[in-house]
Structure 1
Amino acid sequence: MDGMMPLEDLRLFAAVARHLSFVEAAKRLGVPTSTLSRRVAHLEEALGARLLQRTSRKVGLTIEGERLLERAGPLLDELASVLDRTVDREEEPAGRLRVTAPVLTGSQRIAPALFAFAAKHPRINVELTLTNAVVSLVEEGYDLAFRMGPILDAELVARRIWSMPFAIAASPRYVREVLHGRTRLDRDTLASVPAVMSRAGGTWHLRRKDGSLDELRPNERHTVNDPRVAIAAAVEGLGVVCAPTDALKPHGDKLVQLTVVGRTVEPRELFAVYPSRRLLPRRVRLALDWVKEHG
């Protein structure tokens, strides 16, 4: 190879490789797709190796491309991080901020914080998708996701945001007619009575007195993927529900909190996650810090 490999060509290649899309990478970088294609081809020519497999429908990495991304990606991230923190950046953060978050927490805490951030920084455009589904951040083009832990995907960086207390509750009528007036239940009774679930096949996490975790599989009678609706179903007496205490409080005496003998309901941890190979742009990092502080 004659001369030095242009650093900019390497940066553009990394963007295409991480998104597996010339169109998405061009959109993120603000450069024409034709420019990206030309610069990546120039890099391939300089290296004497094909880095990307291109078809009319998708882009894939060759073995050489995977090796280059694996070795050069972290170095590019580190360089960008050093520059970002060394240079005095007083310019206003700008651009699209694509975020996905759970329905309940997203609507109650994350959305207000994000839109307060957008109000403070008028050049930011927020695109928030509320869903309890686990979506691919790279394939769907999200900058950031908020998810309940545990985070098991090794390809993601997980940053803990909050610990969220959960509780089990039922309507007074349900307590009276189904639980025969009992609000303190043993584990087996709780597992046997009808429950309203926010996820099909889900479990409830209880903590024993010795500190060990007990995963209880409830008697799933009704299922709805929006926790707010699951709580509403519990208010109607359709079953017990396990939900964030903040979401239960507004219902007042329409719900009665239940306790479990020898166990407490385990809090859930909320994490901000993003791909491990992607350096957070400044606008995303600032937004994440804002949500953590103000959410």
Structure 2
Amino acid sequence: MGYKSTVPPVSIDDLRVVVAVAEHGSFALAARHTGVPTSTVSRTVARFEEAAGVRLFQRNSRRVSLTPEGTVLLERAAPLLDEMDRVVEDLAGEELSGRLRVTAPTVSGSRPIAEALMSFAEAHPKVIVELSLTNAVVDLLEEGLDLAFRAGPVHGADLVARRIWAVPFGLGASPAFVQKELAHRKKLDRAALESLPAIVTGPGTVWRFRREDGAATTLRPHARFSVSDLRVGIEAATRGLGIVRAPRHELVAAGLLLLEPKADVGHPEARELYAVYPSRRLLPKRVALAIDWVARALRG
């Protein structure tokens, strides 16, 4: 008679729960991500460890960390689970569905990215889009996010960053400011740009420019109004408080006049925008297609 194991069998659903704990570093976050109670997550991990005969996690009062065996499990199992989901999606041939959790910067995200995601949602009615606008660099796995749009450079060995757009920046001021402070001049030299009232995003702000020969230049504007949210800064510019540096499309949308620095200063440097996602996961189909959709929309 053969030996019969008394260890309860594990399933694909158990593996999904264990991988969620490994990715999020927390039983509570894994429970939120998988939709099962925290107590069930704890029992599932214990059952899985017993069946595997190894400890996968080190627990303390604040965080769950991976053992070497847990790291191997995550590296091998997570891509397999994602690939299985993609195969099922392709075989089913159904519409895209599920949640798409995205974070983006407040300015570039509030208009062009948001508009692109709206059209994506219109084209795929079964996809639920959750867009969070913030300039903070958040942990994608910890927050349960599928995708981030971030200004470069992007740091993190565990992240994939795909460049999708160079956001054109410009200098803008209200018609009243141009009339009163600039005597209708729209082309300014370095001295004027460093002495005129400016709206900045923080103390010690430096504006970066690039000349036609490719050389980079910088100047320090004379800050009259400082605010961390550039949307408020643009609003301050419409009230005539000073010159603001912002994406050109936002300046035009706000009714501001575009100012041109002289050749020795150069043009306001564009900001590189990247689609960012965790490197250790195969992208779900809805995320991969959303990135392509936004990239095409931004490039026009």
Contact 2:206–2:219 at 8 Å: present in 1 too?
A: yes
**Counterparts of 1:238 and 1:268, CA distance in 2:** 24
| 1:186 has 2:189 as partner | yes
Q: Percent identity?
A: 49
Q: Which moved more, 1:278-287 or 1:76-85?
A: 76-85
Rounded to whole Å, the distance in 2 between the matches of 1:85 and 1:203 is: 45
Partner of 1:111: 114
The offset of 1:10, in angstroms, is 5.0
Please tell me whether the aligned partners of residues 195 and 218 of structure 1 are also in contact (alpha carbons under 8 angstroms): yes
| Aligned twin of 2:146 | 143
Output the CA distance in 1 between the equivalents of 2:121 and 2:206: 36
Residues 289/30 of structure 1: CA separation in 2 closer, same or farther (3 Å cut): farther
RMSD: 3.0
Task: Give the match's secondary structure for 1:118.
Answer: helix
The answer for unaligned runs of 5 or more in structure 2 is: none
Question: 2: CA distance between counterparts of 1:70 and 1:203?
Answer: 42
CA apart distance, 1:202: 3.6
Per-residue deviation, residues 61-106 of structure 1 (Å, max 9, x unmatched): 14x2xx3454443433443454455552413332222211122222
Scaled by the length of structure 1, the TM-score of the pair is 0.82
Residue 63 of structure 2: aligned partner:
59
Length-normalised TM-score, structure 2: 0.81
Q: Which moved more, 1:201-210 or 1:231-240?
A: 201-210
Structure 2: distance between partners of 1:161 and 1:123: 25
Q: Give me the whole-angstrom Cα distance separating, in 1, the residues matched to 2:211 and 2:137.
A: 29
> What SS does structure 2 have at the residue aligned with 1:88?
helix
User: 1:50 pairs with 47, 52, 55, which one?
Assistant: 55
How big is the shift at 1:269? Answer: 1.6
1:121 to 2:133 alignment: no
Aligned pairs for 1:220-231 within 5 A: 220-231=223-234
Against the structure 1 CA distance between its residues 76 and 21, is the aligned structure 2 distance closer, same or farther, given a 3 Å change threshold?
A: same
Deviates more, 1:214-223 or 1:159-168: 214-223
Matched residue of 2:91: which SS? coil
Map of 2:98 onto structure 1: 95
1:257 aligns with one of 253, 256, 259: 259
Corresponding residue SS for 1:133: coil
Letter in 2 for 1:36: V
2:261 partner amino acid: T
Q: CA deviation at 1:153?
A: 3.1
